[in-house]
Amino acid sequence: MYLNEKKVPEVVIKRLPRYYRYLDELDKEGKTRISSTALSKKMGVTASQIRQDFNYFGGFGQQGYGYNIQYLLEELKKLLGIDNGYKTIIVGAGNLGSAIANYAGLKKRGFKVLGIFDNDEKKIGTTVGGVEIYDVSGAGRFVKENKIDIAILTLPKNETENIADMLAESGIKGFWNFSNAELKSINSVFVENVHLTDSLMTLSFKINQNEE
């Protein structure tokens, strides 16, 4: 509904989860309002940038009087699809896949993990984080039958593209991709490629510069 008016730039989309996290924190501290200056400090962007960001979605409340935290949180929840109850599967039952299956942050944001898929016969039939591990050969059918929204890919690079193609044909809507394979969003299948080491490089840059 919002996108019809103006296309939201990627950089703005990427700030939305951070707004959500910060406001959620403030809400938990019992705060009810935040000035645009205070929010701007927390976010590390200017107050005018925040207004511009929020204008993509209708503005989110009065300037000058600051923002109503709970209202903002509710709007962000709707935008981010938190509480939509999106259904996910994890493909790859290695350490990273298991870590994600056990990760409470997913449930807290309303995401459900309905199955984990792997080709290791020793793992198939066991459970991780209360979720059963199935044979990867059945993943496409599982996605179709259970109307899975998102596949979390934690398998080796060389296996990722074939599986992704197969799941896309089975009606998946998005990939949260942790493999090194750089997947591209096609048609209505969206992709977020996670590059874990990017933030390690950022850290390394700062340490390195500080030593020079």
Which residues bind to a copy of itself, rule: CB under 8 A?
Answer: 1-3, 8, 10, 13-14, 16-18, 20-21, 25, 44, 79-82, 84, 86, 94-96, 98-100, 102-103, 105-106, 109, 111, 149-150, 173-176, 180, 182, 185, 188, 190-192, 194-210, 212
Minimum Å gap between C-beta 67 and a copy of itself is 19
Residue 65 or 103 having the CB closest to a copy of itself: 103
Minimum Å gap between C-beta 120 and a copy of itself is 15
Residue 11 or 138 having the CB closest to a copy of itself: 11
Residue 64 or 202 having the CB closest to a copy of itself: 202
Minimum Å gap between C-beta 42 and a copy of itself is 10
Residue 9 or 138 having the CB closest to a copy of itself: 9
DSSP per position, the chain: --TTTSPPPHHHHHHHHHHHHHHHHHHHTT--EE-HHHHHHHHTS-HHHHHHHHHTTT--S-SSS-EEHHHHHHHHHHHHTTTS--EEEEE--SHHHHHHHT-HHHHHTT-EEEEEEES-TTTTT-EETTEEEEEGGGHHHHHHHHT--EEEE-S-HHHHHHHHHHHHHTT--EEEE-SSS----BTTBEEEE--HHHHHHHHHHHHHHHH-
